Structure 1
Amino acid sequence: MAFHEVRFPDDISRGARGGPERRTQIVELASGDEERNASWASSRRRYDVAYGIRRADDLAAVVAFFEARNGRLYGFRFKDWADFKSCLPSQTPSATNQVIGTGDGTTTAFQLVKAYASGAQTWTRAITKPVAGSVTVAIDGVEQATGWSIDTTTGLVTFDTAPASGAAITVGFEFDVPVRFDTDTLDVTLDIERLGSITSIPLLEIRR
């Protein structure tokens, strides 16, 4: 996958709009009942970062970032300010936030994930772009300062020695969303009051 490990400017992404999208097929029967089927097993996020442009310099930064990514060709990192931690937005990530696996005495690599729970239902999201320096790891509730490494390009935690059988492996982290531009054209409007604007700059989450 063509991907640049760079992050879209934070001061512009802070004003973006967007969030998760799902694809559901709904068939209404003659009786008025419905049959619903999920076309996607996982959600996909969409954003529009045009709302974060407030100055002419912001506009210039977006145009430069767009050109450097060759439009839709290269993916990049994006900070979703509404959802970028392993914990609640008001909290600080800790090593016991998310369970990523249970030791079996053999497995050494575990994928970062984040669980979204509501009532009895839980959906688990794979996290592939953790922020460097933000990941902490614990085994059975005891934080591990050494003995492991994190690949910030894939979200894989690898232990030097496989965790013991039955040991709970938990993590805390901040993360970015892998996205790409969902357009090959930037429609720039110049005006006196705003010194330039773009009506829409859509981003689309990249799923592997």
Structure 2
Amino acid sequence: MAFHEVRFPDNISRGARGGPERRTQIVELTSGDEERNASWANSRRRYDVSYGIRRADDLAAVVAFFEARNGRLYGFRFKDWADHRSGLPSQVPSPTDQQIGTGDGVTTSFQLIKRYASGGQSWARIITKPVAGAIQIALNGVSQANGWSVDHNTGLVSFEIAPSAGITVTAGFEFDVPVRFDSDVLDVTLDIERLGSITSIPLLEIRR
């Protein structure tokens, strides 16, 4: 996957609109009842960052970022300000926020995940782009300062020694969303004062 490990400008992403989408097939029967089937097992996020452009310099930064990514060719990191932490957005990550596995004495690698739960149901999201310096790990609730490392390009946590059988492995972290531009065109409108604007700048989450 062609990907640049750079983040879209935070000051512009803060004003973006968007969030998760799913694809569901709904068939209405002759009786009026419905049959619903999920076409996707996982959600995919879409954003429009045009709402974050407030100054001419912001516009120039987006154009430069777009050109450096070759339009839709290269993916990049994006901070979703509404959902960028292992816990609530208002809370500092804790090493016990998310359970990422259980030790068996053999396994040394565990994937970062974030669970979304409501009403007894939950969905686990694989986190592939954790933020360097914002990751904490705990074993049975005890924070671990060392003995592990994280691949910031995949979200894979690796231990020097496999956690013993039955040990709960948890993590706290901040993360970015891997995205790409969803258009090869930036439709820039210059006003009389040359401030400029772009009607829409769509971004689409990259799923592997």
Give the TM-score of the pair, scaled to structure 2: 0.99
Q: Is 1:199 aligned to 2:193, yes or no?
A: no
- 1:194 CA displacement: 7.0
Gaps of 5+ in 1: none
Aligned position for 1:82? 82
CA contact (8 A) 1:55 1:194 kept: no
Opposite residue 93 of structure 1, the aligned amino acid is: P
Opposite residue 105 of structure 2, the aligned amino acid is: G
Q: SS at 2:178's partner residue?
A: strand
- 1:119 CA displacement: 1.1
Task: Give distance in 2, aligned partners of 1:130 and 1:53.
Answer: 26
Percent identity between the aligned chains?
80
- 1:90 CA displacement: 1.2
Aligned position for 1:36? 36
Aligned position for 2:162? 162
Task: Give distance in 2, aligned partners of 1:106 and 1:132.
Answer: 26
Gaps of 5+ in 2: none
Q: Deviations over 1:120-169 (max 9, x none)?
A: 10000000000000000000000000000000000000000000000000
Bigger strand fraction: 2
Q: Deviations over 1:65-94 (max 9, x none)?
A: 000000000000000000000011111101
Task: Give distance in 2, aligned partners of 1:13 and 1:57.
Answer: 14
Aligned position for 1:111? 111
Runs of 4+ in 1 over 6 A off after TM superposition: none
Q: Is 1:177 aligned to 2:177, yes or no?
A: yes
- 1:193 CA displacement: 5.5
Aligned position for 2:138? 138
Please give the root-mean-square deviation of Cα atoms over the aligned residues, in Å: 0.7
Q: 1:18 to 1:194 in 2, by over 3 A?
A: farther
Q: 1:55 to 1:29 in 2, by over 3 A?
A: same
Task: Give distance in 1, aligned partners of 2:29 and 2:193.
Answer: 53
Give the TM-score of the pair, scaled to structure 1: 0.99
Opposite residue 30 of structure 2, the aligned amino acid is: A
Q: Is 1:16 aligned to 2:4, yes or no?
A: no
Opposite residue 125 of structure 2, the aligned amino acid is: R
Task: Give distance in 1, aligned partners of 2:88 and 2:71.
Answer: 33
